[in-house]
Structure 1
């Protein structure tokens, strides 16, 4: 995979899970990584420490997404840490979790989902563009929920459908600067944070049995796809949604 030495990357929601794995992989390839976190300072510190112990470079920036001043709070820290350097890679990973089915989702929960999952990535990109180098990379984490009918994730899937459309249209707009814009759609991914969910009797086996590659995903499975798109090897891919689910619910296995 292409070397990212000398490049800078901002990863939102990088204090744990998939975001943490993305940050670590980008740093492993040589990028200086800005580890964004909302409330999990301990996780962000652990991410930065792990990157530095491995010989990489990183710093943490705190900003709770979903509020009126969230983007400016984020970029105050980003610009201070960059100290005049441009940004090369932006990964919009931070997201609010599904709020529940139609009958249970409140207006407050619905608005929070869209504030964090749609409004924040949109205005983070807007704010990042003056810093983003020509030939830069933008990757937003979506979900396979956009291609499935799961009543428990209706509003969540709507937010991810929005960022997929955003990625396609911005790819067309920003291509003249050589900037690629893509989305990556994970499926069932076991992380340290959500691992207990998959301990429900039979659940992991059921999901694996509905996945072409016959297992649950892990954070590194998603991180490697993101790093590929962020690298020179991904230079001719833009406006796409890359399904990184191992083939979840492609159809009957037999």
Structure 2
């Protein structure tokens, strides 16, 4: 018996990185999964790997509420219900103070904040008691990383929004929790040069002395999505190798 047998999940940005790893795990645990993404080619490839009987890919623009409404409606039309929302889609973006164009800053905020809000709003008409909403935060919300003001602000906004969602959705029996990844091997950092640079710098700041794998974030998303977390409401679970809780435990200080 899988932990998600009979459930249907909607995952934005489910065609790569953490979203795709989570989609794979959810399918393995018995769920039907609907994934969204901007790129039809990577969507098709992801669905092929997930299995057409278990998954459905929809090209959708996270910053367009109508696009999200069509996507959630198509998900329910395809699989008959909606039990889990993983508002995972997000972008990085270097926005240094003193050298950033308005459009670059706004794009990060639009995708990472506005997009998350309207993802949940689009799914809301289909969610019933016992449904689970999982948001994707980041340790960079509190890390003060230079050059990442928009990204940090956007992820802080996600964790802040989650608290409001909890108060609004608890009367309906819908749970809302946030997974908070640390540095993780995902395409958001650029491949392969960007990832190698990040790994060299950031592993020294992680007590466990390595980057996280997308599958390790997915495991926590699975817990929050499943009935194992039936009394977990408004939690923020860090998956960061100890970097947030014990920064002085990192190799750089040894």
TM-score (norm 2): 0.90
Contact 2:10 2:34 in 1 (8 A): yes
More displaced, 217-226 or 44-53? Answer: 44-53
Report whether the alignment pairs 1:21 with 2:16. no
TM-score (norm 1): 0.90
Contact 1:62 1:74 in 2 (8 A): no
Contact 1:185 1:243 in 2 (8 A): yes
Deviations 1:194-238 (A, max 9, x none): 3421323xx524422321222111110111110110001111111
2:142 matched residue in structure 1: 147
Q: How far apart are 1:140 and its partner, in Å?
A: 0.9
Q: How far apart are 1:86 and its partner, in Å?
A: 2.3
Q: Tell me, in whole angstroms, the C-alpha distance in 2 between the residues paired with 1:77 and 1:205.
A: 39
Q: How far apart are 1:18 and its partner, in Å?
A: 0.9
Q: Cα gap change, 1:5/1:105 in structure 2, threshold over 3 Å: closer, same or farther?
A: same
| Structure 2 gap segments, 5+ residues each | none
Report whether the alignment pairs 1:224 with 2:223. no
1:64 matched residue in structure 2: 61
Identify which of 154, 164, 167 aligns with 2:159: 164
1:114 matched residue in structure 2: 109
What is the root-mean-square deviation in Å for CA atoms of aligned residues? 1.9
| Structure 1 gap segments, 5+ residues each | none
SS in 1 for 2:57: strand
Report whether the alignment pairs 1:251 with 2:247. yes
Q: Tell me, in whole angstroms, the C-alpha distance in 1 between the residues paired with 2:112 and 2:20.
A: 18
Q: Tell me, in whole angstroms, the C-alpha distance in 2 between the residues paired with 1:177 and 1:160.
A: 26
Contact 1:45 1:60 in 2 (8 A): yes
Q: Tell me, in whole angstroms, the C-alpha distance in 1 between the residues paired with 2:93 and 2:191.
A: 16
1:46 matched residue in structure 2: 45
More displaced, 117-126 or 225-234? Answer: 117-126
2:67 matched residue in structure 1: 73
Contact 1:172 1:239 in 2 (8 A): no
SS in 2 for 1:24: helix
Q: How far apart are 1:12 and its partner, in Å?
A: 0.3
